[in-house]
Chain A
Amino acid sequence: DGGITQSPKYLFRKEGQNVTLSCEQNLNHDAMYWYRQDPGQGLRLIYYSQIVNDFQKGDIAEGYSVSREKKESFPLTVTSAQKNPTAFYLCASTILLGNTIYFGEGSWLTVV
């Protein structure tokens, strides 16, 4: 778990702004994920990537964008099109074809 670093831990966004959440892993994992968690709710998949330069939409991709230019990095941009972005965002990773998914410590995003 300690090999997945998310930053910043807390972020405030003004209405109409795009913000980018960073996720870096040094576990040499091939697959990376972004989940969103609302207070008292479960985890919903936003995007995932199995290899560099490739990614797929999850269940709630609208209003978000990602890139995977390097194996160790999978940043998430929350765009102004995401109307209700206040949530806890979790990055995760796993070995390709592996099963255990490990999570980063999360980033809290609040719209002000």
Chain B
Amino acid sequence: GENVEQHPSTLSVQEGDSAVIKCTYSDSASNYFPWYKQELGKRPQLIIDIRSNVGEKKDQRIAVTLNKTAKHFSLHITETQPEDSAVYFCAAKLSNDYKLSFGAGTTVTVRA
């Protein structure tokens, strides 16, 4: 099955700075890569996703990049705000599978 590794496990940034989280995946057949944000005690919420036919996708202050050759993808958050503090999970899905494999998560803390 797919194996997803996520780094760093914790990330502390000053408000207004950028945050970058990186994930690698093992199976080159994976074609869908979502990112979820989870606040304490709440359900994960999809914030952005990218498919393997696209190299980059942006949505306001959030962007995701995908390098299929190296099998890694990254989440970029610019101009961080206190409400960006949460746990972020990356995930990957094989094209012929219904299962979503998650990374271990990154706890992001934005310092005021």
B46 adjacent to A102 (CB under 8 Å)? yes
B104 adjacent to A31 (CB under 8 Å)? no
A41 adjacent to B98 (CB under 8 Å)? no
Q: Flag B92-112 by CB within 8 Å of A: 1 or 0 each.
A: 010000111111110000000
- Could you say which of B34, B43, B49 contacts A105, with CB atoms under 8 Å apart? B43
B104 adjacent to A41 (CB under 8 Å)? yes
Which residues of A have CB within 8 Å of B43? Answer: 1, 90, 103-106
B105 adjacent to A105 (CB under 8 Å)? no
Assess whether A67 is interfacial by the CB under 8 Å rule: no
- Interface residues contributed by chain B, number (CB under 8 Å): 21
Q: How far is the CA of A101 from the CA of B46 in the complex (A)?
A: 8
B99 adjacent to A90 (CB under 8 Å)? no
Which A residues between 41 and 63 are near B, CB-CB below 8 angstroms? Answer: 41-45, 48, 50, 58-59
A-B contact count (CB 8 A): 48
Which residues of B have CB within 8 Å of A1? Answer: 43, 45
B100 adjacent to A101 (CB under 8 Å)? yes
A58 adjacent to B99 (CB under 8 Å)? yes
Q: How far is the CA of A50 from the CA of B97 in the complex (A)?
A: 10
Closest CB pairs A-B (n = 10): A103-B43, A42-B104, A99-B32, A43-B102, A42-B102, A42-B105, A105-B43, A31-B98, A103-B44, A106-B43
Apart from A58-B99, A103-B43, A103-B45, 20 more pairs, CB < 8 Å: A31-B98, A33-B99, A33-B100, A41-B105, A42-B105, A43-B44, A43-B102, A45-B100, A48-B98, A48-B99, A50-B98, A90-B44, A94-B98, A99-B32, A99-B49, A99-B93, A100-B34, A100-B49, A105-B42, A106-B43
- Chain A contact residues, CB within 8 Å of chain B: 1, 31, 33, 41-45, 48, 50, 58-59, 90, 94, 99-106
